[in-house]
Structure 1
Amino acid sequence: MARRLRPVGLDFAEDAPIRLVFTAETTAPPEAVYQALAAEVEGWPRWFKAVTLARPTHGGAGREVRLRGGVSFQETVMAAVPEQKYAYRVDETNAPGMRALLEEWRLAPAGSGTRVRWTFATDGPAPYRLALTAVRPGLGHSFRTAVRTLDGRLAARRRTDQ
């Protein structure tokens, strides 16, 4: 059963009670990474294996996302700054314990590629916080694998376009 979460603003990425921050680098330029994140939402399941469905809603102002295991999210896009930042807030979910969630993807040039920083900013009761401590390594691994897979897909696209 889906339930509404507390609405939060972009500042939640910096001041949330729980902030998990992960980074990885790609060989793809920021514009290609941003395109995959923000404009090609339906492509997320091809590179982020935890995601089974992603689709824009409300003319691109929102997203519907489903994860392996049956967790689903209805989201509002909070920031879409080309080549720099893509952030969304979860408004509704069936995940237990969560009170608020904002995810922020920041992009920065890194050599000839991109440094990707993903912030998972959230709040919930003590058992939820404890569970996140336990799953932090898995979330980091999932993120790094997703960025590597995305980088491979973008590299193959660049070779095809040449």
Structure 2
Amino acid sequence: MPEILTEYTESWCSVDSKRRRKSGFNLFDLFILLIVAAAVVLIFWLVGGRKSVAVEGAAVKVTYKVEVTAVTEDYKDSARVGDTVRDGVRKSDLGKITAVKVSPMTSVTSNILTGEAVKAESPTKYKVELTCEADGSLTQGRVSIGSYNIGVGTEIYVQSYGFSGKGYCVAMSYEEGGEPDGE
């Protein structure tokens, strides 16, 4: 019987010594930590770290596109380059039109006979894409033109001389160095 206790004690001691050896911090652990830290830095850099962020409240030059749909034949050519654009609800200035693109309005409909989705052009309705420029500011991570916060997806009621309609901002960019927007 003493032999069994001796073997059990010896095997217990060897397991305990192995456990002590594995509990220390070694160079392999440091290598893994460095790889994880490098991956985190790379992800932040790829997501948005490459573009320099404008200073909070800084003046920025804003270029944005508003897409107005369901415009009739009579008004499709009413928006002109150089016209001033304002918000149709708040009546605040939203800059000047720098480009106008008119195209037939398309919609996706279902073919009743075959059941497939078909892209169809409307013969009487048009899509008008206005490219506008304005002086704005960056406040709380949002671009503002005067008191109007604007971003991609923002619903905008645009008005200019001879043209008005409801549309959405479909693209926007800004760069530092614009004139103060004079709220």
Quickly name the TM-score band, shorter chain normalised: 0.3 to 0.5
Higher strand share: 2
Higher helix share: 1
TM-score (norm 2): 0.29
TM-score (norm 1): 0.32
Larger radius of gyration: 2
